[in-house]
Structure 1
Amino acid sequence: MKCAICNTDAQAVCKFCGRAVCGECASQREYRSGAAPKYFTQTAKSAIIVSNAIWCRQCHVETA
């Protein structure tokens, strides 16, 4: 698989859009899942947050 940006060998996949990216083109961004396991609802948490998800920097991520 090749990087969608620079066409070198890819090392990861963007969590937001699915593009393959190499280590040079990849970035990190916070990712919030829309669902939480049943036991999280008892502690008032509605999402799981990953602070260093792979992001290609090409897709536009909207935050709410």
Structure 2
Amino acid sequence: MRVFIAILVGLIGGFILGIALSSIIGIIGMTIFHQPIGIKFLPYYTALICAVIVPIIDQKNK
């Protein structure tokens, strides 16, 4: 059950982190290059990465 909760927290937190990173990259691109830049599907990638990393870190800290 603890692993399942860690995966859900990783998915939700990673998605939010991806949205924030995407926004920051877009702002920097508009400021420096005067055109929008970004990584396609970044929130989904970060959600998957965090869904793997968070349970691993949780098991090490347990």
TM beyond 0.5: no
More strand by share: 1
- Larger RCO (alpha carbons 8 Å, 6+ apart): 2
More helix by share: 2
